[in-house]
Structure 1
Amino acid sequence: GRRRLPRLTRCHTVTESGQQRIPVGYVRRAHGIHGDVVVRGLVADAAERFTVDRDLMSDAASTTTLRIVSQRMNGVDFLLHFEGVDSREDAEALVGTQFLIERDQRRDLDSDEWWVEDLVGCDVVDLDGQAIGRVSDVAVGAAQDRLVLETLDGRRCEIPFVGQLVPAVDMDSRRITVDLPEGLIE
């Protein structure tokens, strides 16, 4: 079957304590004259994260948290109004602001789901346990996602992230087992 990756960006920031913060959305643009902003969600559970009376951690220079006072949908985006953001100028100052969560606040995953940032750096081995390389990135695609592999001899190749080719992902040992057809990475 198809392996699934939650739609979560690879970007993150690191706090002073070394804790990664992960973006869950960002302000695309101001909307209207009363301080509303258009927010694009970056995660599958965005609708649960952008609710009224919720405080959002932000990377904005002016404030670290913003409280949502109203929310409605605007196509695939969220139209939000924050406490204290009452003019178009206030809203425009927030354009580009990212909303962040701590790594441990991510949603629980199904057994066939992994976070992109957790896969990067995993060792890749064949069915006999022989090292092939390491995951350097994940290419997220509409039809299927692909593991970007840096081979032991320094070449780069992509492996479709599907159950037939990737029968095992062991996050405890940070090891991904692949069953590749002849010539796929040669």
Structure 2
Amino acid sequence: MRKEDCFFLGKIAKKFSFKGEVLIWLDTDEPGLYKNLESVFVEVNKHLVPFFITSSSLHKNDFLRVRFEDVDTEEDADALVGKELYLPLSALPKLEGNRFYFHEVIGFTAEDQRLGDIGTIQSINDSTAQPLFEIKKGDTEILVPMIDDFIVKVDRENKKIILNTPEGLVDLYLG
């Protein structure tokens, strides 16, 4: 499995018991969706290695308490602490309406209700307090905050996001 075909699920935060159990921090708003996993990919030396889960349960709402097959001791668990976990993109729950995964809208056309086609979404910058659409129009890069009020519609069928940006925000880049 290649990392490009997967999404980051979380990290093994710490050992939980003397029998090799670990606590996994999940990078999600809905940890409950992942409590019945059969397996995950753990990044070990830049390779994704499948680990099979023999038992798991939610722990304090944001952690998953997991016992992996063949991880039976504290030492085995210790070796996994800090490792990142991935799942295939196909395992993502389908989102509908105006909810979307960042990777899903790359390549979509950004269309402003007032200005029409303002370019193609190249990436999402989520290293800022407010994630930004990075939109390319010719040689111009346009940054639009990902604010619910700006997103009118996610049109998956036509690979388009319809935006309603305040006057001046996009005009600034195109002027």
Aligned CA distance change for structure 1 residues 169 and 139 (closer, same or farther; 3 Å): same
**Equivalence for 1:59:** 42
Question: Deviations for 1:120-179, whole angstroms, at most 9, x for unmatched residues?
Answer: 2212122267331222333459x965423334332342234324x222221222112222
Q: Does 1:80 align with 2:75?
A: no
Aligned CA distance change for structure 1 residues 107 and 30 (closer, same or farther; 3 Å): same
**Counterpart code for 2:73:** S
Shift of 1:24: 2.4
Shift of 1:184: 0.5
Shift of 1:40: 0.9
**Counterpart code for 2:100:** W
Q: Does 1:177 align with 2:167?
A: no
1:29-178 correspondence runs (5 A): 29-51=14-36, 54-61=37-44, 63-74=49-60, 76-127=62-113, 130-139=116-125, 145-163=131-149, 165-178=150-163
Distance 2:125 2:131 in 1: 6
Shift of 1:70: 4.7
Distance 1:127 1:147 in 2: 16
Stretches (4+) displaced over 6 A? none
**Equivalence for 2:3:** 13
Q: For this pair of structures, how many residues does the alignment match? A: 167
SS at structure 2 position matched to 1:176: strand
Q: TM-score, normalized by length of structure 2?
A: 0.74
Shift of 1:119: 1.4
RMSD (CA atoms): 3.1
Distance 1:182 1:129 in 2: 10
Structure 2: segments with no counterpart, 5+ residues? none
SS at structure 2 position matched to 1:33: coil
Name whichever structure is richer in strand by fraction.
2
SS at structure 2 position matched to 1:64: strand
SS at structure 2 position matched to 1:155: strand
Asked if the contact 2:52–2:68 (Cα under 8 Å) also holds between the matched residues in 1, the reply is yes
Distance 1:130 1:121 in 2: 17
Question: Deviations for 1:85-136, whole angstroms, at most 9, x for unmatched residues?
Answer: 1222101211243433332222132322111111122121222673312223
